Amino acid sequence: MNGAAKLRGDELIAERHYAVDPGRVWAAFTSPVSIASFWGGSHATVPPESVTLDLRPGGEFALDTRAPDGATRRLTFVYVSVTAPHELVFDEPVTGLRTTVTVRRSGDGTHLTVHQRRLPPELRTARAATGLGSILDSLGTYLQLDRSTS
């Protein structure tokens, strides 16, 4: 599954199937090195040293995204719940955006759903949907590359 996320009002939903064990997808979302490898999608890079995470409810998750023009933006989230190895819920404290990442075994691999709720108006766009889709496509590429070097 490739392509943009589905935009419905103030929600974005993206789903992917990866032919890898769910534990590998969970690890990708809970390791700073992995997050830096895919989070920017095709539209930004994430310097590995910028990623911090305190994987517990109330813990902070932060990273820098660097656009092709060099502009850098710090993203900060707070974990609401961590249910290893199946679900992460985190909020962006300024806008109230809530992201739920659900990882579950499906057939020969993993079904991943990323559901963002309470999108601020500036993220209720086709560009944001394409961006989230790009991040999950980059995750798929990362998981394939990681598997070939394991």
Higher confidence at residue 149 or residue 64? 64
Q: What is the pLDDT of residues 13-41, one digit of tens each?
A: 999 999 999 999 999 999 999 999 999 98
Q: What is the pLDDT of residues 86-142, one digit of tens each?
A: 999 999 999 999 999 999 999 999 999 999 999 999 999 999 999 999 999 999 999
Distance CA 105, CA 145 (A): 20
**Residue-level pLDDT at 4:** 80
- DSSP category for residue 82: E
pTM of the model: 0.92
Tally Cβ neighbours within 10 Å of residue 31: 14
**Does the N-terminal peptide bond of residue 68 adopt cis geometry, omega within 30 degrees of 0?**
no
| CATH 3.30.1490.20 assigned to 6-149 | no
Q: What is the pLDDT of residues 11-20, one digit of tens each?
A: 999 999 999 9
Counting Cα atoms < 13 Å in the Cβ hemisphere of 30 gives 22
Q: Per-residue DSSP letters for the chain?
A: --SPPEEETTEEEEEEEESS-HHHHHHHHH-HHHHHHHTTTTT-B--GGG-EE--STT-EEEEEEE-TTS-EEEEEEEEEEEETTTEEEEE-TTT--EEEEEEEEETTEEEEEEEEES--GGG-SHHHHHHHHHHHHHHHHHHHHHHHH-
**Residue-level pLDDT at 145:** 86
List beta partners, residue 90.
Answer: 79, 99
- Give the model's confidence band at 146: pLDDT under 50 very low, under 70 low, under 90 confident, else very high: low
Give the N- to C-terminal CA distance of the chain in Å, as an integer.
24
